[in-house]
Amino acid sequence: MIVMLSLFLMGKETVTPKNMKIETALQKVVSFYAKETNNTAILLLVSKEGKNYKAAAGLADRTSGRQVKSDDLFEIGSATKVFTGISIFQLIESGKLSLDTKLKTFYPKGKITQLANYKGENYWEDVTVGMLLQHTSGFIDYFNVYGDDKKALKILGGKEKHFTFSQLIDISVSFGDANFKPGEQFKYCNTGYIILGDIISKVSGMDWHDYMQQHILDKVGMKQTYFGSRITPKLRASMPKGYMARKEVFMAASLAGPAGEIISTLGDLSLLMQAWAKGALYKENKTLALQMEQGFHLEDQKIKNFFYGYAIMRQEGFYGHGGQTLGFQSYMTINPKTGVVYIVGTNDSTIGSMDLFMQLAHIEFKR
């Protein structure tokens, strides 16, 4: 269950005085948020007018008492989907596939086709790459099918676990029929992004990790961004520990893969969002325009201003993505018109990073 904490509880202190430095204002908000969430590690970056302002508060390690630092690494979870989406659009630009490319092109037969079973019919021939990006395939989500994070942790968590592509597909298929016919509705699905990662490998001729490293991380200059399945033990040990309701947990990177295994920093994620919004990761402006303007669906019928498109979330002029692993949460977003960037990270999967952004987005930080 996500903790929804209203920063407006701070009253007048939420509004930044004109003579207060941005760093001071951010630190004040982050310290409050950390305190109100039992010293959860909170990392925050706000970028405006070309400058990054960072703040951090809370415990990176509840056992040793180590405080979190603003340049600490953290798991970004499903924000990884932005990397996967960018990779797919780059391959579309190269003419190697399209949003309408059918999955049967890559997987003409096999157990994976059972993902499209629905009420006695199989709709595999109807599923497209675009549907996977939009979460409209209807496929069962291997990660969220348990309906409870603690139950998922008990079944899927643990350092000794390792999951292959086939195993994740098998888990999804084992839960029976799809949620609906392909293309009919929106339902968030990590399984679709596991498939997209495999498609990147098939189409590019290189492992999807290597493709993203070469075509995104290296291109943007993200020198502090890693894949959870490849990070060194030394770097992993230097990270904040991940928690679920203040209990230390561990999630195998192979469980998330191209749907959520990336580890990064505030600064690197800011670089990514700025490069993406400028179109620097694409050859043609129309590619960015397509991703920013088309394919959006309401993510939640109860929230009328929150949309999901092709691997990107849109809310009140901001474009980005949130993420959650079994021990962390993240949110990264940019307003292309103003250039303002927000990056948020927490080291407890029950503490909402998106909530902090939503509150901060209503605060005007002044020099």
The tens digit of pLDDT for each residue in 207-240 reads 999 999 999 999 999 999 999 999 999 999 999 9
* Dihedral, CA of residue 134, residue 136, residue 140 and residue 145, to nearest 10: 70
Biggest distance spanned by C-alpha atoms of the chain: 66
pLDDT at 15: 43
Distance, CA of 53 to CA of 20 (rounded, Å) = 13
Residue given tokens 């929230």 in the structure block: 303
Q: Which of 237-241, 253-257, 291-295, 356-360 comes out lowest in average pLDDT? A: 356-360
pLDDT at 363: 56
Going by DSSP bridges, is the β-strand pair 42-48/226-227 parallel, antiparallel, or unpaired? unpaired
The tens digit of pLDDT for each residue in 38-66 reads 999 999 999 998 899 999 999 999 999 99
pLDDT at 222: 98
In the structure encoding, which two tokens stand for residue 83, read together? 């990397």
pLDDT at 12: 36
Distance, CA of 143 to CA of 190 (rounded, Å) = 7
Distance, CA of 342 to CA of 320 (rounded, Å) = 9
Q: Which residues of 161-190 are buried (b: 16+ CB within 10 A; e: fewer)?
A: eebebeebbebbbeeebbebbbeeebbebb
Going along the chain from its start, the domains and CATH numbers come out as 7-74+218-278+311-360 (3.40.710.10), 83-204 (3.40.710.10)
Of residues 24 and 134, the one with the higher pLDDT is 134
CA distances from 107 to 112, 120, 198 (A): 8, 21, 11
Contacts of 292 (CB under 8 A, 6+ apart): 309, 312, 314, 319, 336
The tens digit of pLDDT for each residue in 96-152 reads 999 999 999 999 999 999 999 999 999 999 999 999 999 999 999 998 887 777 777
